[in-house]
Amino acid sequence: MTGLAFKKDPNLLVGIENSDDAGIYKLSDDIALIQTLDFFTPIVNDPYNFGRIAAANSLSDVYAMGGKPITAMNIVCLTLSS
């Protein structure tokens, strides 16, 4: 992403240029939103256990930024069978 120009926003407290665990966006003087998204190849065959691993990874990013998890987003990548 080096060399890309990003729009400056005074409410963006932690953005891509910080290379941190998550982004932080100021919503008001006393509320900020911490967001993180991780995508990686499954490291176990069981979907339930992989979900637990993925959730723990994302939760640790939010906690590392001093946040309190209140919502979650799920992404899924599937392959088409031939």
Tell me the domain boundaries of the chain: 12-64
Tokens of 59: 């939760």
pLDDT of amino acid 79 = 78
Residue-wise pLDDT for 63-79, tens only, equals 999 999 998 887 877 77
Supply angle C-alpha 78, 16, 76, rounded to 5: 10
Q: What percentage of the chain has pLDDT greater than the value 70?
A: 98
pTM above 0.75, yes or no: no
Residue-wise pLDDT for 34-72, tens only, equals 998 888 888 899 989 998 998 899 899 999 999 999 988
Cβ proximity of 13 and 24 under 8 Å: yes
Closest residue by Cα to residue 40 from 60, 25, 19, 55 = 55
pLDDT of amino acid 82 = 63
